Amino acid sequence: MKQPVLVVFIWAFASFLAMAFASLQLDAAMINGQFIPFGNDSFYHARRILDAVGERGFYQFDSMIHLPEGSWISWSWGYDYVLAIALKAALWINPGLDKMKFLVYVPVFWVPVNVALLLAVGRTMKLPLELLAFSALAMALLPLLQMLHVVGRIDHHFMELTFVLLASWRTVRWFDRQSVVNAAACGIALGLAPAAHHALFILQLPLVVAVGVLWFRSVAPMSNQLRAAGLALFVTSILVILPSEPFRDGQFSLGTLSGFHLYAAFASALILYFLSWRGVSRKQVALLCGLVVLLALPVLSQIVLGSQFLSGALFQANSILEVASPFAMIAGDWGLTATLGFYSGLLLFAPFVLLAFLWRLVRGTDAAESAFGVFAVFGLGLLLMQFRLNYFGLAFMILGPLVLLKGISDRRNWSRPLVALAVAATLAAALQPGLAGGLFTRYHAGGDHFYEVAAPLFADLDRECRQRPATVIVSHQLGHYVRFHSDCPVIANNFLLTEQHFEKAGQVAAKFDESPRSFRATLNEPVYLLAFLWGALDIQGGLVEIENVESIQMRNPRLLVELFFGDPLPDGYEIINNVSIEVSEGRGFPVARLYKVQPLP
């Protein structure tokens, strides 16, 4: 059987396996027989997409969040817009289609695309068939991939993985088979990436670095190819950025798809053009350094903001899991077993793989290996910095060791069957934590035990908002859920990126620190108050030991303590519904309530 046919078989088998694991969490994407998103950001994506196919239409500024000003949505327009178009097409074919059922399965049915791109990178790096098979199998059995593609995960992260793979493949392929067409294809891939998420402009960096490395060795691609890549990148970026309302509003910010991103594409294209101009020399190196400094000066504040984002300083990294590094997770509450249950044992190899590729870049390898090495160092570096950035390094955590092993095996003429046996044994051990638990973890509805417990209140909130629309005062951690389930606006939600986002979250937190009467004094009109008693539930959604009620009271702000533990109910507060956890037969402990609150007369 010819290799291309076998590769197709490997792709089909690995895709089926990965889709099967991604579908295991179907229960977490349903509640009361209705499909729901999985993960808090997925709730906002779903709301925006459903609005786009409904009466409200597609929007990039949302007046229903961060009241009273509203705010620009940080995410790029492309991902939600394309999904809305796909949903409209599906509804045209089948008008009776359950919209949420369509959306929750999009990540699952996108699995074959990412598996195919992984294999494309592996084939371009000339991995033998058995190592290609192992790479696809490892990807299918990686809990991180399952979490990116899990049913209901409408979040954009699986699409970010697509563009990381696409950018690395097109770059490596261009360097392996140098031509103007491959150069332009690379530029187009990088130009398209920010349409999925504005942060993906960063993928231009490894391309520029890879070209720079080869330029220093005097083996860079031909000048016409570098210019073609730069031109394709810049033109595609213009086409992607023009539909962005923040750009048309004149914004220049890292946090929205704006003039900053057009400037970044221009800077990348200009550097590629400079490298195509003349070969390496002391004078050219000095000019290149000067050009980089000049290009960086106008965006210095944005570079500082980006470094704060990557370091976690912007998010108080110690308190947010998403911005914790995997090694901080190991040293913290998660521990080694649970962390490897997500990342697999391949995580332990990642720092050494990163260092190995750095060494190979210094020593010098061929063009394609240099490009792959730069992307591997870049991706693994981000993976090791933050949990949320795992999709940048996921593929290189798998392919990196195999590419290094192939190089050593070829030089030393090792036996392919013995190498394959060693790889199989190593992968079996590395993937064991995921197979033992990570892939089969049972998740709560919506991926959040707080959501699962509070879910009965959202139906009441939806009904109330339809009859009497009003602002919902709720912790920013539950803001996306409120917007998905109701037509009522919120002051804060799960967006935590800009100064406004943090300011609004602080405003809501301050309201919860008021007494019930003082809280009413801040109101100009009736509001709904969605109150969740923090510290009353463990991570499994069960009630913690409540013999010492004072310990729960200490974890909650004044307003919640007086509302949940005070008697009688303060004036101006009406309980619409109450969620209690059963303590003993016939006795419940309240953990969440929906109130209607009147302002002071």
What are the pLDDT digits (tens) for 369-425? Answer: 999 999 999 999 999 999 989 999 999 999 999 999 999 999 999 999 999 999 999
Give me the pLDDT at residue 579, please: 87
Give me the pLDDT at residue 541, please: 46
Q: Which of 148-157, 170-179, 326-335 has the lowest mean pLDDT?
A: 326-335
| Average pLDDT, integer, range 18-27 | 94
| Average pLDDT, integer, range 191-203 | 97
The answer on pLDDT for 318 being more than 50 is no
Q: How far is CA 439 from CA 27, 144, 443, 552, in A?
A: 14, 9, 11, 33
If you ran DSSP here, which 8-state letter would residue 490 be given? B
Q: What is the pLDDT of residues 462-487, one digit of tens each?
A: 999 999 999 999 999 999 999 999 99
Q: Confidence band (pLDDT; 50, 70, 90) for 601?
A: confident
How many C-beta atoms surround the C-beta of residue 366 within 10 A?
12
Give me the pLDDT at residue 565, please: 86
Where helices occur in 110-142 by DSSP H, the ranges are 111-124, 129-140
Q: What is the pLDDT of residues 429-458, one digit of tens each?
A: 999 988 887 788 888 899 888 898 888 999
Which tokens sit at 364?
Answer: 């010098």
Which pTM was predicted? 0.94
| Average pLDDT, integer, range 282-306 | 91
Where helices occur in 249-366 by DSSP H, the ranges are 259-277, 282-296, 300-311, 326-331, 335-343, 346-363
The answer on pLDDT for 116 being more than 80 is yes
Task: Provide the 3-class DSSP secondary structure of residue 297.
Answer: helix
Of 309 and 178, the one with more pLDDT:
178
Name the residue among 151, 122, 139 with its Cα closest to residue 17: 139
Evaluate whether 594 touches 459 at the Cβ level (below 8 Å).
no
What residues form DSSP beta bridges with 532? 592
CA distance 373 to 267: 23
Q: Is the peptide bond before 298 cis (omega within 30 degrees of 0)?
A: no
Q: Which of 26-30, 309-313, 507-511 has the lowest mean pLDDT?
A: 309-313
Q: Confidence band (pLDDT; 50, 70, 90) for 539?
A: very low
Name the residue among 460, 481, 582 with its Cα closest to residue 528: 460
The answer on pLDDT for 284 being more than 70 is yes
Give me the pLDDT at residue 317, please: 41
435-463 b/e (C-beta count within 10 Å ≥ 16 → b)? eeebbebebbbbbbbbbbbbbebbebbbe
Evaluate whether 377 touches 361 at the Cβ level (below 8 Å).
yes
Angle between helices 3-22 and 129-140 (to 10 degrees): 10
Length of the chain: 601
Q: Is 176 exposed, middle or buried (0-12, 13-18, 19+ CB in 10 A)?
A: middle
Name the residue among 10, 72, 43 with its Cα closest to residue 497: 72
Which tokens sit at 184?
Answer: 């332009």
